């Protein structure tokens, strides 16, 4: 059985790492890896392949960045001949990026089964491009693998047959647990002069936060206070950097000595930074999940989350973009001692193994 596995952007690489590794125990499956090129540079792509031992892609579509419509269309155009040449039985897509829906759509129209890993997550915020990608991909998938119970509930509510839905756990957590020991050897804390639990980590890249200078400015109002209290390490996503270059906010950040901006860091360095942080502030989906298992308090700078299990676990608080609310939540975290976390079911490092086992059963290989 031949499966084409699609990746395009940073969070996809982290997810596919554990799936590609689980295929090694399934000799009946022949996996091929397709990199669409949505993220293509060293910091957001190559480094992840090296550090996470992801096999070299069999096929590179080399699409690159552009507007969402052009990018989605370019991926579809480049993926169709790959499908026609390789004639896979199934296509596996992960997450919620443009590559996910672009390749998913081409796959089903050419008669392949579509497997969606991380299905059913919903923020119910249709202004998020990722939410559109999630809803559309789930609607056309044959196998829907969920990370948390909310995903199963949403899919059932949307009329997806129960027999197609599988609660298997979280492949991003599989990868994290497998690399935790290696990440401890990272020297990033020493290189940055940081002491465990005496700094905060920040990531921001969602269009809703960084495209509008007024909203980004409000987040900066909160950060301005926090950086006086605690050093903030900010590995900056290229999208965020590009937006800062076009506004006065860049100059404002320069006046904040406690806010240290860096290039995006590799997976192992970032895992080490998160593990020893006092608090993480983020708008990332994956980071909300990783901090849950690391038992590090996470303040999500969004009005919603598609990952409510991270909130129920006790690690994550959705605090929005209002500076007063962010600061109140930050102070509450500072007053807390250790967190008591309830680990979401199946976030145990074996999700990819479950996915591959189910595929072997269903495809009789």
**349 near ligand UDP, rule: CB under 6 A:** no
Size of the site for ligand UDP (CB under 6 A): 16
10 binds ligand UDP per the rule CB under 6 A: yes
Site string for ligand UDP, 168-207 (x = CB under 6 A): ----x------------------------------x-x--
Nearer to ligand UDP, 222 or 301 (CB): 301
Q: Which of 35, 116, 205, 237 is catalytic?
A: 205
Q: Are 339 and 295 in contact (CB under 8 A)?
A: yes
End-to-end CA distance of the chain: 7
**8 Å CB contact between 89 and 113:** yes
State yes or no: residue 286 binds ligand UDP (CB under 6 A): yes
DSSP 147: S
From 145, 267, 330, 347, residue interacting with ligand UDP (rule: CB under 6 A): 267
Q: Which two tokens stand for residue 286?
A: 């994956």
CB of 284 to ligand UDP, least distance (A): 3
Residue numbers 207-266 binding ligand UDP by CB under 6 A: 235, 264-265
Residue 287 touching ligand UDP (CB under 6 A): yes
Active site residue 157: no
DSSP class of 295: T
Binding segment for ligand UDP among 10-18, 190-198, 216-224, 296-304 (CB under 6 A)?
10-18
Residue ranges in 141-257 assigned as alpha helix (H): 149-157, 171-184, 188-192, 207-210, 213-229, 238-245, 249-254
Please, are residues 148 and 307 in contact by the beta-carbon 8 Å criterion? yes
Q: What is the 3-state secondary structure (H, E, C) of 64-83?
A: CCCCHHHHHHHHHHHHHHHH
| CB nearer ligand UDP, residue 14 or residue 256 | 14
Sequence-ordered list of residues with C-beta below 8 angstroms from that of 156, at least 6 positions apart, any chain? 162, 165
Q: Which residues contribute to the site for ligand UDP (CB under 6 A)?
A: 10-11, 14, 172, 203, 205, 235, 264-265, 267, 270, 284-287, 290
Please list the active-site residues.
205
């Amino acid at each position: 059985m031949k499966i084409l596995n699609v990746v395009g952007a940073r969070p996809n690489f982290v997810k596919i790492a554990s799936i590609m590794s689980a295929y090694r125990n399934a000799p009946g499956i022949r996996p091929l890896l397709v990199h669409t090129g949505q993220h293509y540079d060293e910091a957001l792509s190559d480094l992840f392949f090296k550090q996470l031992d992801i096999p070299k892609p069999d096929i590179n579509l080399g699409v690159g960045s552009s507007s969402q419509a052009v990018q989605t269309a370019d991926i579809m155009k480049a993926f169709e001949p790959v499908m026609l040449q390789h004639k896979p039985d199934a296509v596996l897509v992960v997450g919620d990026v443009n590559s996910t829906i672009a390749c998913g759509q081409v796959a089903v129209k050419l008669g392949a089964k579509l497997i969606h890993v991380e299905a059913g997550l919903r923020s119910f915020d249709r202004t998020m491009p990722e939410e559109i990608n999630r809803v559309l991909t789930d609607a056309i998938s044959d196998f829907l693998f969920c990370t948390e119970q909310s995903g199963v509930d949403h899919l059932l509510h949307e009329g997806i047959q129960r027999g197609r839905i599988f609660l298997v756990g979280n492949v991003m957590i599989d990868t994290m647990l497998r690399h935790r020991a290696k990440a401890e050897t990272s020297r990033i804390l020493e290189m940055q002069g940081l002491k465990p639990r005496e700094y905060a980590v920040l990531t921001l890249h969602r269009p809703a936060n960084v495209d509008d200078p007024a909203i980004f400015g409000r987040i900066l109002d909160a950060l301005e206070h926090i950086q006086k209290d605690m050093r903030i390490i900010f590995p900056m996503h290229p999208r965020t950097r590009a937006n800062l270059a076009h506004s006065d906010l860049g100059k404002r950040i320069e006046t904040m000595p406690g806010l240290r901006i860096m290039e995006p860091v590799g997976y192992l360095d970032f895992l080490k930074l998160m593990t020893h942080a006092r608090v993480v502030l983020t708008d990332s989906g994956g980071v909300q999940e990783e901090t849950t298992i690391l038992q590090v308090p996470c303040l999500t700078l969004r009005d919603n989350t598609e990952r409510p299990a991270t909130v129920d676990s006790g690690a994550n608080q959705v605090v929005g973009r209002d500076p007063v609310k962010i600061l109140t939540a930050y102070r509450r975290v500072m007053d807390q001692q250790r967190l008591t976390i309830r680990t979401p079911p199946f976030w145990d490092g074996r999700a990819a193994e479950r996915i591959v086992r189910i595929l072997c059963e269903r495809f009789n290989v």
